[in-house]
Amino acid sequence: MSDDKPPRRRRVTSKPKKDDSVRMMDTRVKTARGRKMSSTLWLRRQLNDPYVAKAKSLGYRSRAAFKFIELDDKFKLMRKGDSIVDLGAAPGGWTQIAIDRGAKQVVGIDLIFVEPIGGLDFIQMDFMDEGAPAAITDLLGGAPDLVMSDLAANTTGHRKTDHIRTVALVEAAADFAIDTLRPGGNFVTKVFQGGAEGKLLLKLKQTFKTVKHAKPDSSRDGSPEMYLVALGFKGRPDK
């Protein structure tokens, strides 16, 4: 990534306008026979979420698209012509924005199938599988400019177990970024429980020029998710 002034590109507003189409609603959902209360509450939250409505109106795969918009606007994660890896790509919201903003190539991976998006090379595979990193780099054909991860472990309901599984995903994503990024590249990943673990933070601070936590406005109120942003990859220690 050069220090030249980046080409101008079309920006998408990250925050839904407070008009009649996206204002907070209060649509109630009837409890159906056999439906768990947690499912009813989730459905009600979806129906009343202005970001869900705005994402649908703009043709985005998910409300998560607004999170990437906010993070890119604030931290300049990517530039036109970048090669990008999208870990946990389904349903494709982050990829859509990256391509809209001029990414040359996006290689995405997820256990869940992602419907085709022009510019996306998709691998349906568990990122934690031993062969996943090689499958990604084979499609890239070179070092990526940005590794972005919205990976989240399937929850078991056991808080300690879920935390350990989430930490393992974040660490695996960080290791992949350090192993593959070109010098000057960037990394962004979802984290929980108030931020990244101290050991991981230390590793990233040793290998990137800037490391920060951020919580986009489009993250749901009460959600424990945050994002860890690492900018300006210094290069692998062995090189």
- The model's pLDDT over 76-108, given as tens digits with 9 standing for 90+, comes to 999 999 999 999 999 999 999 999 999 999 999
Edge-to-edge order in the sheet of strand 226-233: 120-124, 105-110, 83-87, 146-149, 186-191, 226-233, 208-214
Catalytically annotated residue among 54, 67, 190, 203: 190
Q: CA-to-CA distance for 32 and 201, rounded, in angstroms?
A: 45
| Residue ranges of the chain assigned to CATH 3.40.50.150 | 61-233
pTM: 0.78
What tokens does 222 get? 């009460």
Mean pLDDT of 215-239: 83
Residue 63: pLDDT over 70: yes
What pLDDT, on the 0 to 100 scale, is given for residue 27? 43
- Fold held by 61-233: Rossmann fold (3.40.50)
C-alpha 127/C-alpha 111 separation (Å) is 8
d(CA 101, CA 78): 8
Return the structure tokens found at 2. 């050069």
Radius of gyration of the chain (CA): 18
Say how far apart CA 107 and CA 119 lie, in whole Å. 9
Residue 39 pLDDT greater than 50, yes or no: no
Q: Which residues 6+ apart lie within 8 Å of 201 measured at CB? A: 195, 211, 228
pLDDT of residue 53: 72
Does residue 182 surpass a pLDDT of 90?
yes
Cβ-proximal residues to 1 (8 Å cutoff; 6+ apart), any chain? 79, 82, 145, 182, 184, 185
239 catalytic, yes or no?
no
pLDDT for 196 equals: 65
Of 104, 72, 106, 75, which Cα lies nearest the Cα of 92?
A: 106
- Give the lowest-confidence range in 9-13, 152-156, 170-174, 213-217: 9-13
Q: Convert the pLDDT of each residue in 197-212 to its tens digit.
A: 789 999 999 999 999 9
* Amino acid at position 120, single letter: L
Indicate if the pLDDT at residue 9 is higher than 70: no
Q: Which residues contact 5 (CB under 8 A, 6 or more apart)?
A: none
Highest mean pLDDT among 52-66, 152-166, 225-239: 225-239
Is 50 exceeded by the pLDDT of residue 47? Answer: no
